[in-house]
Each structure stands twice: as structure tokens, then as C-alpha cells.
Amino acid sequence: MKYETQKVAYAYFVCAMALFAIQVLGGLLAGWIYVSPNFLSELLPFNIIRMIHTNALIVWLLLGFFGAAYFLVPEESEREIYSVKLAYLQLAILVVGTLGAVGSYLVGIHGGREFLEQPLWVKFGILVAALIFLFNISMTVLAGKKTAITNVLLMGLWLLSLLWIFAFINPDNLSLDKMYWWFVVHLWVEATWELVMAAILAFLLLKLTGVDREVVEKWLYVIVATALFSGILGTGHHFYWIGLPGYWQWIGSIFSTFEVIPFFLMMSFAFVMVWKGRRNHPNKAALLWSLGSSTVAFFGAGVWGFLHTLHGVNFYSHGTQITAAHGHLSFYGAYVALNLAIFTYAMPILRQRQPYNQVLNMASFWLMTGGMAFMTFVLTFAGTIQTHMQRVIGDYFMEVQDSLSIFYMMRFGAGIAVVLGALLFVYSQLVIRNREIIEPGPAQPVAGE
Amino acid sequence: MAEILTKTRARNIFYAGSLFFVVIFVVLTVNSHRYVVNTSTAGMPLTEEVVLGKHVWERHSCINCHTLHGEGAYFAPEVGNVMTRWGVQDDPEAAFETLQSWMNSQPSGVEGRRQMPNFNLTDEEIRALAEFLRWADQTDTQGWPPNDAG
């Protein structure tokens, strides 16, 4: 740890991992209800469990991003964080808000816009926490060195916080409600979060491969340019069937097809940097997660997104298990795995355990990634059958669902693998195994560093 | 990457290009907003009852099981066209009665079948919800869904 205040990130990462565990357990429970629908149906209905599953995901990913910013901004700006107290205050607000939201869901108090179900006071808490964060991190960057990584990271975080305003705007007109709802949902995960992801990935590759900063930062700008050029008008692929004008079918199809490009570039970026890099960094697990994240993001967000983004296809596949398949793999690849990559990189440093073999961590990568891949495949098959039976032939929803039960059983099996992988990951981060602590090699400065 | 693309140029392209697309997006948003209000949802007035129905829909987080215009959870049927599927889209009274008997018979308790909770709605709330669903059904959704199955 070069800067004392980077330690703040540790608390963020631990809270994020606790929520990660809640998220995957909630998902497993929801998956079980698909197999055995009477389970808990009176006590804890499906809609409540799903809210916990999705909300916990979103909050822990954000906690991870905030923690990552507190970890990497001091190193990039070459100075301590402006205020450690504010950083902990921000975390406290977010944790209280999250626990408050989960508690109120359990007693049946919630909103009804998907993913934005938080009670109003929690929404305000998130806003206040975001403002504290932006102030704190901007003051740090303004007083220190400015790099492309901090520029892009801050731009992403500023814009995503600004877009949160739309969480408070809920028009009575359902079609308008849906349109502005996407300003948070789409412009987060398919625009501003990509900026954050690319910036964190660039930081990781800079540290892990030792490639020249000029090269890394040029790639970074090209990636984020393609992300926003495609992602902003790509919002149109959500506007096909919700009461908006027909021209979105063409704008959405064309621009969301281009949304594959930033993910392809991020994957290429990761592999090219590793090939070019001359540094043999001991944290192999962080490298595995970085390469894995960009690869799975390319398949989950890029390929599986393109699969059903053209309006002619989407007319039939919209709102089926195809969407669920894409949603799961894209979130896992792009944002879950990237967060786990920065945790994996930072935790041994934060706990002063470098160099450190992370064999269990790497095992958790394969277990989770294998599980998610299998889950995506079975949901894709289920969605294909559903699309044909329900949308082409016209069979009723529940009849179709009954004939998909075998896929839901396999999905539950995949879910068990993911949960085991996630718990193994958390264990590998929190418990230091003495067998895995290794001796530092001889310091050999690499030319050109 | 080619030497002609320096880091500074890449940065400038990123900023200028993003701004360009933001401007187009804002213009199209304004146009879409007007289209929704004046055309696609104008077939039925947005009454207080419809708005109450939307609040009932939200308060019970129906979206986390059902889809509405294809968005939501995929656990329970699409409801954007449920009034058409039930054949009551043009008959408010029949829409209310059908929805009422459906809501009151939940949960079915049938073994091996997905369960919908009983939300203990008042008749006023059920009537509002029925109006909201009729209002959603009359929206011009570019021909989606492909058939009544939703």
C-alpha cells in the first residue's frame, strides 16, 4: 500500500462481498422456486426474493466501484484521499440504506419500478452518499495528478450519479415512466458503468502487465469512445415496444449492434496488454479475473446482447428467458467479475500479504464462471423453446413454462455451482492461508518502467 | 494502433463524439415524449383511476413476477395485453369483474403450480387496477406482442 488512506477500500470490499453472498443466496432461492413453486409462497413471495436478488447485486457492485475508486485514485493522483471520515460516512449511509431497504422489502414496503424499488428515504440516502463520494474523490483528483484513468473513472461516476435523478422521476403515463426508467437502467449498465469498468480494467492491466501508460491510456479513450457512441443511441433497443415511435427500431438495432465493439475492444485490450507486457506479476489470480471478466463480458454483453437486439428478432424474443440468459451472463462478466478482479488485486496489498498465491480464488473463478456459462446455456435453450411455443405458435404462458421445467432444474444446479464459487471466493479473500504466502522473488526492475 | 491516433486525439474524439450523440439523444427524447402523450397513449384518457391503478401495481411490486410490455420478471404472464386475452378490453365492468374474481381466488394453493399472493385489495383498488391494465393495453406498442398469449 503506497498511501495510508487506500485502506478505506478494504471496508468497502468487505461490505460488498457480504452483499454478494446475500445476492447469490437470494438468486438460488428464486431458482429453487422455479423448480418447486409452492416453496415459501405465502411467507416470502417470489417478487420479494427477486427484489433482494437484484437490489443486493446493484448495491454491491456500486460499493465495489466506490471502493475501487478509493483504492486506485490515490495511486493515480499520487496523494492521500481528501477525507477518510467522509469516505466512511458514505459507506455507513449506503450500508444503513441497504439494510433498511432489505428490511422494508421483507415487511412489504417497497416501490414498484423494477430495480428502483427502494423506499424514498433510501433513494435520498443513495443520492447523499453519491454526492459525498463525488466531492471526496474529486477533491482528491483536483489536488493531485490527473491521468486518463482518473478522468474516465470520474466521468463515469459523475454521470451515473447524475442519472440517478431519474430514479425520482416517475410519470403517471406508463410509457413515459418506462422511457425515463431506462435513463437510469440502460444508461448505467450500457454506458456509464462501462466507463468505470474500462477505467478499472486499464488500471489493473497497467499494474499487472507493466505496459507503457501511453499505450494503455490511448486504448482506454478509444474503448470508452466506442462505448458511448454506441451506447447512448443504443438505448433505442429498449424503446421498440413500450409505446415510443417506430424510428427507434432502426436506431436501436443499428446502434446497439455497435455496442458489441467496446466489449470486443476490452477483451482484445486485455489480451494484447498481457502479450506485450514484460512484467511477471505474482498475482496470477487478479490477471485471471481481468482476462476472464473482459472475455465473459464480450460473450455475455456483446454476443448474447446482439443475439436478440435486432428488432425483427426482439419482436419474438422480448421478455422471455432469452433476456434472462443475457442479463445473467452480461452482469457476471462485465461487472461482477471485474469487481472480483479489483478485489483480488487489492486485497493482498490492503492486508499486506504480498506476494500471495491465490489458488482457492482461482478455483472459485472456474467454478463460478463454469456455473454462469451453464446457466446461460440452459436459459438460452429454455428461451428459444419459449419464444417458439409462446410467440410463434401462441401457446399460453403457464403451459409453456410447464414444459421448460427440465431447464429450470439444470439452472438450479448451475446456481449451486455459482453459490459455492462465490462463497469460496469470499473465504479466499477473508482467510489467509499460510501455505499460500510465498517468498518475494529478487527485485528485477524491468527496462522501460 | 496507428501513429496518427495519439492519446490526445483519442480523448478529443471521445469528448466531442459523446457530446454529439447526447445532443441527438436529447432531441429524439423530446420528440418521443410528445409522441407518447399525443399519439401512442392518447386512445384513452389518463384518469385519476388509471393513476391509482398504476400506484396499486407499483405498491405490490407486480413487476417482479409479471412483465408489462415485455419488461419485468419472467415468472408470471405478460399483463400488457391481459385485458385483450380475457376479451374484456372494451368492457370496463367485465374487466373489473374478471380481475376481481381472479385476485380473490389467489393463492390457488395448487401443488406444483406457481403461486400468486392475495394482496387483499379493496374493490376500488381492483377497479383502478383493471382500468390501468386497460389503459396499458390500448397503448400503441408497434404491434407487440405477436399474439394474445403475450
- Among the residue ranges A13-22, A229-238, A352-361, B71-80, the one predicted with the least confidence is A352-361
Omega before A355 within 30 of 0, i.e. cis: yes
**Mean pLDDT computed over A33-58:** 95
**Mean pLDDT computed over A380-407:** 97
What are the grid coordinates assigned to A328, written together?
A: 445473467
Q: Does B44 touch chain A (CB under 8 A)?
A: no
Whether the predicted pLDDT of A449 surpasses 50 = no
Q: Does B148 touch chain A (CB under 8 A)?
A: yes
Omega before B107 within 30 of 0, i.e. cis: yes
Out of A242, A251, A319, closest to residue B74 by CB: A319
**Mean pLDDT computed over A40-53:** 94
CB B32 within 8 A of CB A245: yes
pLDDT-based confidence at B1, cuts 50/70/90? low
Q: What percent of chain B has pLDDT over 70?
A: 99
Q: How far is A317 from chain B (nearest CA, A)?
A: 9
Unique residue bearing C-alpha cell 446461460? A376
Q: Mean pLDDT across chain B, nearest whole number?
A: 96
**Mean pLDDT computed over B4-12:** 92
pLDDT-based confidence at B3, cuts 50/70/90? confident
**Do the Cβ atoms of A174 and B21 come within 8 Å?**
no
Q: Does B135 touch chain A (CB under 8 A)?
A: yes
Whether the predicted pLDDT of A128 surpasses 80 = yes
List pLDDT tens digits, range A140-175.
999 999 999 999 999 999 999 999 999 999 999 999
Complex ipTM > 0.90 = yes
List pLDDT tens digits, range A246-266.
999 999 999 999 999 999 999
Give the number of other Cβ atoms within 10 Å of residue B148's Cβ: 14
Q: Mean pLDDT across chain A, nearest whole number?
A: 95
Whether the predicted pLDDT of A181 surpasses 90 = yes
What is the pLDDT at residue A47? 96
The strand pairing partners of B68, in sequence order, are: B71
Chain pair A-B, CB pairs under 8 angstroms: 210
Q: Does B92 touch chain A (CB under 8 A)?
A: no
What is the pLDDT at residue A354? 78
Handedness of CA B95, B96, B102, B103 (dihedral sign): positive
Nearest-CA neighbor of B65 among B118, B138, B115, B129?
B115
Give Cα separations from B145 to A320, A340, B50, B64, B66 (angstroms). Answer: 12, 39, 22, 19, 14
DSSP designation for B100: H
Smallest CA–CA distance from B44 into chain A, residue: A173
What are the grid coordinates assigned to A214, written together?
A: 501511453
Q: Does A315 touch chain B (CB under 8 A)?
A: yes
Q: Does B30 touch chain A (CB under 8 A)?
A: no
**Do the Cβ atoms of B114 and A51 come within 8 Å?**
no
pLDDT-based confidence at A285, cuts 50/70/90? very high
Q: What percent of chain A has pLDDT over 90?
A: 92
Q: What percent of chain A has pLDDT over 70?
A: 98
Give the number of other Cβ atoms within 10 Å of residue A217's Cβ: 20
Q: What is the pTM of this model?
A: 0.96
Q: How far is the C-alpha of B22 from the C-alpha of B35, rounded, in Å?
A: 20
Q: How far is the C-alpha of A287 from the C-alpha of A374, rounded, in Å?
A: 23
What is the pLDDT at residue A442? 64
Longest dimension (CA), chain B: 71
The residue of B30, B36, B47, B49 whose CB has the most chain A CBs within 10 angstroms, and thus the best one to mutate to test that interface, is: B36
In angstroms, the first-to-last Cα distance of chain B is 48
**Do the Cβ atoms of B61 and A178 come within 8 Å?**
no
List pLDDT tens digits, range A408-425.
999 999 999 999 999 999
Q: How far is the C-alpha of A284 from the C-alpha of A287, rounded, in Å?
A: 5
Whether the predicted pLDDT of A280 surpasses 80 = yes
Q: How far is the C-alpha of A333 from the C-alpha of A314, rounded, in Å?
A: 22
Q: DSSP 3-state assignment of B10?
A: helix
Q: Does A179 touch chain B (CB under 8 A)?
A: yes
